[in-house]
Structure 1
Amino acid sequence: MLLSALWSLWSLDVVAALVTVYGQIPLGITSALAPTATVAAAYNTTVLDPPEVPNPAPPTSFTLTVPSANTSVTGLSIPIKGTFYGFSVEMSVITQLFGKNSSFLQVPLLNLFANIQERAGAVHVRVGGNTQEYAYYVSTLPDGHAISKEKANTNNPTETPAVVYTVDLFYLLSNISSLVNVKWYIGVPFNDTSDFRLQIVEYGEAILGDNLLGVQVGNEPDLYAAHGHRNSSYNPQVYADEFGELIAALTADSKVPVSNNLIGPSVSGTWTPEMVWNTGFISEYTNNLAALSVEHYPTDNCFPTYGIGTYHDPQIEFANFLNHTSGVSLCKPYLNSSAIAQAAGKPFLMFETNSASCGGFPGISDSFGGALWALDYGLQMAYSNFSGAMLHVGGQNVFYNPFTAPPTNVSRYYEWTVGAVYYSALISSEVFGRTNTSQIVDILGNGANIYTPQYAVYENGALARVALFNYITDATGKSDYTATITVAGGTVPASVQVKYFLSDSVSTKNNITWAGQTLGTIREVDGRLKGALNVVTVACDTGANKCLVPVPAPAFALVFLTAEAPIATATFSTSTHTNTVNTATINPSLLATSNGMSGANWQLGLGSTSSGDNKNGAGGAAMRADVIVGAMGLVLVLGLWY
């Protein structure tokens, strides 16, 4: 019977070769953690103390008078797409997160992307980072891997490994796009201007086609001198000249039919973007530029690992992330550049960001408070006329990951881990929706109190949603507030629908829900939202033109003033499992000394550019083949779940 079933699979008429999707343990089966295991940053259990209730505390009742039409709003943003928040994935961790190659796809990743696609229409993902700069092509790699890693560049403070890739990398990305509507940014190697190694562009354009959004040229060039990639005289003009050299190389390459999809300068703050604009960069290369970009982290946590910079105590830093001032301050230096980009007709992108460089902070980056911060920061970037932003994703040894795959040597026992900031991207996709017409404005209500910021969102010119934050943690309920929404130039509906983003405290890492649903806790995530959907209906007083919306402390509330289409996400199930004997209950004392879970071994093959892992990933354990699907034809073995 098994042979007959397998023969039936092979006989299916599909557009492309079958794809094997790497799976996790069957649902409902769990396994204890090894008690003596070295804990990677992605699984860190540090819980900080929430800040005290502000003194004076903000008012707990206030009115927001919001115009009914965008024509009456001052300072409204440009139209924002639901894909605003995407993900920046280090090239070195692709096999962990995406799959070993085009025949092995990670099911939980497909589910996590599908959640956002259903709300936004697509998902934007940047593949690159520091690891793109030294990447080079080879025809084959051992054991069918699409990428491998070489020894890290020790001149780089983050000890970035060089990535070696095959053409199968692009089939891997393309197969993901055939299942979930993912659009990609890639980066051209820029360490050697005498040989740009354009295969990454050649194969990217040929295989990804319309799913390729753009090609980044230079990643943080303002840090090249400090990292030993260029000499000390390297400056914005030299970068601009090298950009032109790349354009000449692309133009001369018959395998690159498109050369108007370039993105730069992606400076990180050592140079201001204006220093690059002043070289004539935009006017000189306007026909080749798809977008203008910057990268920025609000602070760093480099000292504990590398002994550079200043030590930042996470407990002290926590309060800096828990108010509206953070996002406003981060966006202010870019307001001039976003205006310049609009004048030039170019999107302005935050190409890489997260809570702190060098991997983030324990207890901040992976907390509910960190998710509130990231959501507020994202909405503030949109209000500041950024067209998109990418939350960075590293390996096992960073705190800020939106999602983390288990090490391959324990993937039979453990599922994925979702960081709190994944919810920020998920919720952002609902804030802006699928119409690509949403415009946002910072309301500055409640006396512009920094602990209770609010935004209004207009869709197709009409008021559609109101977003309400409460950064305060107060178990007594005394810091819960009620926002009274009244519509100027119109009236409130008979009722509004409210989705709440909730947890017990800003410090919480678990028990985080969006509209009553959760993805799960550490090592328990398959990418599908769990629990019953809970959308709260709030009755309004149309005669008085008032809707009273309560917001707990802490929480985020998204108020829908217009009817929303139901969300029915098509997700993917690991419906076939091999080696199922390994899902049996294991004695924790045995597990403690098995599976390679020592401090020396959990890092092997899991190098991240964000926090110092410089191991070679080629020797990592091969991933299992658990579920078979046809990537282009979506063979039914994969099972759709609604």
Structure 2
Amino acid sequence: MLKPSLFLLSLAALSTHLPHASAVTVYNQDGVTAVSAAATGTGAASATATASWLSSLAAYNNVTLTPPALPNPMPSTAFSISVMNSAQDVSGLGIQQAGDFFGFSVEMSVVEQVIGKNATYVQVPFLNLLATVADRAGRVRVRVGGNTQETATLVGSLPNNSMIAKDKTDATNPTDTPVLDFTAEMIYLLANVSSLVNVKWYLGIPFNDTTNLRLQIAEAAESILGDNLLAFQVGNEPDLYAAHGHRPQDYNQTDYFNDFGIVVNAINNDASIPTRGNLVAPSLQGTWTLQSVFDTGFITSYSSAISILSVEQYPDNNCAAAFPDAGFGAPVNPQDVFPNYLTHLAGKNLIAPYLPSIPTAQQAGKQFMMFETNTASCGGFPGVSDSFGSALWAVDYGLQMAYSNFTGALLHIGGQDVSYNPFTPPPTNISTTHGWTVGPIMYSTLVLAEALGTTNTSQVMDLFANNNANSTPAYAIYENGALARMVLMNYMTEQGGQGAYTATISVGGGQTGEANATPSQVKVKYLLAPSVAEKDNVTWANQTFGGRFECDGRLSGTEDIQTISCDTSANTCQIPVPAPGVALVFLSSAAQGATDPTQTQTYATTAVTKSANTVSINPSVLATSNGQSGKDRSLSSTSQGSSDARRTVGAPGATLLAMLVLGAWAVAGALRR
């Protein structure tokens, strides 16, 4: 067993934590001609000039699309919405939901980049980003897995004390999914994250070879994560196994039923896996129907083993562009599919095939989750997946799932080669000068968390507003049986002064005998951007994570919660909704205060790992220094080992090599690893 150790948080992006600095300029760094980073008072940095090679990575593409034209005919831009104040007077309400409805799915192969290099080096922006959600939702659910979990093997150690080793040369599949080895260090990393932020985890048991099962991940996770472990997924998109070469071409639902049973029996006979009934399955992609799997007797046979019935679905795919030689056909033009995401029909159509199966799950006492999703598989569409339109799509999609009795959904996160990431760390070779990049879709998790709250009693109703116009959907959220919040959406981008609308809300109004209950005022928070095609300038209640390479995981800016007075004599409140935008309407101060944290615990860096190029800086000196004229100064080599480089000698195996004197916050404790 590994011994307790000092746990120090660390971060590679030095420039994002220079408090009150006016500017930091780096000249001629590897691959970067001139990068200027201006720090703000909150610690978030702005990197405005980037090397051209970065745009070749999908996560930082420069594709900006044209917002679609306004609908023809236009929906009404002044309409009324009547809602009941009591849930007892509403038919068709969804089941009670928790604020952590939206979570994240992290591809196992990118854990080191996204979560941390090892158990003592946690990515601080990751902590901060999850803290912003947890403080609104109560907790965050994160899955570590995906395609790469299927061939992953827990090993005792790896060369150079690595935590994960990838072998793409052994990846025999059309999407180049690498084969992974990992150590228990990865699970200790997850445990240390949970000690700081209320994060609960889903992990995957490898399913590629049922004749030689590898249950070590379950054995280790049970003992290391304890109550922070939610469930184990068994099988990731088994209906694609034959197409991806993981099973024979005639592999079918009965074969999957039998394979699943082998894993269940092995777990039942493994004393090192004491918890039972926490498996996630069948996680279909859609090639098979759920009913075809249920028809094998899957639920009845394995009811005691399963806690979550799951599916995984993306509305489209960009596989032809991502893998041009894999036979996926002609690439899709992102501009052509952009309108498909900017309609209330998008989420409704995506989940429609699963609606008949949800009552089956409920009757069996199981959760029903969208276990992996995002805008488009195979990396997403540049200009769509990283646009404000994706945030609108996700808010609508998430609320539609909650209304339809899904119990949660996980937004997938890949590496630098995908454009749909909620958040992306910078490439390693610029991580000391650039912050993280937050995609617009990340903001949808904050909206959902605040809309659903922390009471675990929220019920969602699709209001079919504005004559069910697909550009202006609206939802009501009931909490503890009473109307608490509303969400008003606008998919349109203002053109020629048109697009914005005003919704006139009336609560109660005497319908079915219910008395008028419109409050004297409401509070409103807005999710806004200049257009649906915007990639960087996104705000939630006037706060932002920043643009490309600007994020340290913390929101910056002064929160703006607008107060709108209502006409109590007319029993109405008029709520303006910009084009595009989302308005979260709080019907009472209590409804707003319960989901809007007054303060979020965030984390600053205490260490970096580049000792050769690390310095200690007095913040007061840096704040008043112009850095002299760097363009007039010759720079010697800073490569460790070069003849004129400063040489440093550290203790062998030292994990943390340099401390930054920046008034940083530190955590020390006896955390097991």
TM-score (norm. length: structure 2): 0.85
1:355 matched to which residue of 2? 375
Cα 1:159/1:57, change in 2 over 3 Å? same
Confirm or deny: 8 A CA contact 2:9 2:667 kept in the other structure. Answer: no
* Alignment match, 2:59: 42
Report if aligned partners of 1:30, 1:414 keep a CA contact under 8 Å in 2: no
2:313 to 289, 296, 304: 296
Identity rate, percent: 51
1:259 shift after superposition: 2.4
* 1:423 matched residue in structure 2: 443
Structure 1 residues 391 and 559: alpha-carbon distance in aligned structure 2, compared to 1, 3 A threshold: same
Residue in structure 2 matched with residue 560 of structure 1 by the alignment: 586
Q: Distance in 1 between matches of 2:334 and 2:656?
A: 36
Mapped to 2, the partners of 1:403 and 1:624 lie a distance apart of: 27
Aligned to 2:517: 491
* CA displacement, residues 433-475 of structure 1 (integer Å, 9 cap, x when unaligned): 1111100010001000000000000000100001000000014
Q: Which moved more, 1:538-547 or 1:460-469?
A: 538-547
Q: Which moved more, 1:467-476 or 1:284-293?
A: 467-476
**Which deviates further from its counterpart, 475-484 or 494-503?**
475-484
User: What CA deviation, in whole Å up to 9, does each residue of 1:295-340 have, x standing for no partner?
Assistant: 0010100111212144211001001100101111111111111111
- Residue of structure 1 aligned with 2:402, choices 373, 382, 390: 382
Taking a change above 3 Å as real, the CA distance of residues 244 and 450 of structure 1, as seen in their structure-2 partners, is same
Aligned to 1:609: none
1-structure distance, mates of 2:373, 2:71: 28
Q: Which amino acid aligns with 2:431?
A: S
Amino acid at match of 2:361: A
1:21 corresponds to 2:9: yes
The verdict on how the C-alpha distance between 1:277 and 1:337 changes in structure 2, with shifts beyond 3 A counting, is same
Instruction: Give the whole-Å Cα distance in 2 for the aligned partners of 1:143 and 1:560.
Output: 53
Task: Measure how far apart 1:145 and its partner are.
Answer: 2.4
Alignment check: 8 A CA contact 2:489 2:583 kept: yes
The Cα shift of 1:269 comes to: 0.6
What is the RMSD of the two structures over their aligned residues, measured on CA atoms? 2.3
Distance 1:166 1:625 in 2: 25
2:208 to 187, 191, 200: 191
2:475 paired with 1:458: no
Alignment of 1:99-498 (within 5 A): 99-307=116-324, 308-488=328-508, 489=514, 490-498=516-524
Shift in Å at residue 165 of structure 1? Answer: 0.8
Q: Distance in 1 between matches of 2:460 and 2:112?
A: 37
Contact conserved, 1:175 with 1:631, CA < 8 A, in 2? no
Give, in angstroms, the shift of residue 631 of structure 1.
6.2
Paired position in structure 2 for 1:547? 573
Secondary structure of the corresponding residue to residue 172 of structure 2: coil
Please tell me whether the aligned partners of residues 178 and 631 of structure 1 are also in contact (alpha carbons under 8 angstroms). no
> Is 2:537 aligned against 1:511?
yes
Alpha-carbon separation, structure 1, partners of 2:330 and 2:358 = 31
Aligned residues: 593
Corresponding residue for residue 82 of structure 1: 99
Write the distance in 1 (CA, Å) between the matches of 2:139 and 2:253. 34
SS in 1 for 2:203: strand
State how far apart, in whole Å, the 1-side matches of 2:207 and 2:67 are.
43
Report how far residue 233 of structure 1 moved.
Answer: 1.5
Task: Tell me the equivalent position of 1:570.
Answer: 601
Separation in structure 1 between the aligned mates of residue 638 and residue 302 of structure 2, nearest angstrom: 56
1:516-563 deviations in Å (ceiling 9; x for gaps):
000001111000000000000000112211110000111100000022
Partner SS for 1:63: strand
TM-score (norm 1): 0.89
Distance 1:152 1:260, change over 3 A: farther
3-state SS of the aligned residue for 2:223? helix
Structure number with higher relative contact order (C-alpha < 8 Å, ≥ 6 residues apart): 1
Greater mean alpha carbon deviation, residues 153-162 or residues 297-306: 153-162
Tell me the distance in 1 between the aligned counterparts of 2:278 and 2:412: 22
Hey, what's the Cα distance between the residues in 2 that align with 1:427 and 1:30? 34
Q: Give how far 1:626 is off.
A: 5.3
Conserved in 1, the CA contact under 8 Å of 2:500 and 2:579? Answer: yes
How far is the alpha carbon of 1:30 from its aligned partner? 4.8
Amino acid paired to 1:546? T
Shift of 1:505: 0.3
Residues 549-598 of structure 1: per-residue CA shift (max 9 Å, x gap): 0001111000000222241211111255664459989879x99x999xxx
Contact 1:353–1:391, Cα closer than 8 Å, also in 2: yes
Listed as ranges, the gaps of 5+ residues in structure 2 are 26-34, 36-48, 509-513, 618-626, 640-654
Residue 605 of structure 1: aligned partner = none
d(CA) in 1 for partners of 2:24, 2:245: 46
The structure whose Rg is larger is: 2
Q: Which residue of 2 aligns with 1:94?
A: 111
Change (3 A) 1:63 1:623: farther
Given that 1:21 and 1:625 are in contact with CA atoms closer than 8 Å, whether structure 2 keeps it comes out as: no
Whether the aligned pair in 2 keeps the contact of 1:292 and 1:349 (CA below 8 Å) is: yes
